Amino acid sequence: MPGLVLQVLHRCDEDVGRVGFTVTKKVGNSVIRNRVRRRLKAVFHETAKMISFKGYDLVLIGREKTYHRAFKDILNDFNRALNKAGIIKSDK
């Protein structure tokens, strides 16, 4: 997705899902990296209200475009990535 990269591991159990956030130094200085990380956390928490991640480990990787994209677009990128990974099913 343009705004983020999602890595998923299905653990084959029903334990609480875990999530990690990472942003490399290529994205920018520490202020920019922290803002990107905060935006990814906000996207995850917005989605976690509606979806259960039991049995999954997720890693969200921020990219340069994450900093400049609108929050709504990043949220759509995350939902499309979850759909592509098979965690949620699209209504289409």
Mutual angle of helices 30-48 and 71-85, in 10-degree steps: 60
Instruction: Please give the model's pTM, rounded to 2 decimal places.
Output: 0.86
* 25-70 pLDDT per residue, tens: 999 999 999 999 999 999 999 998 888 888 889 999 999 999 999 9
> Residue 15 is encoded by which pair of tokens?
């334990």
C-beta separation of 90 from 54 below 8 A: no
C-beta separation of 1 from 63 below 8 A: no
> Residue 4 is encoded by which pair of tokens?
């983020």
* CATH top class, domain 4-85: alpha beta
Domain boundaries defined on the chain: 4-85
What is the Cα–Cα distance from 57 to 66, expressed in whole angstroms?
21
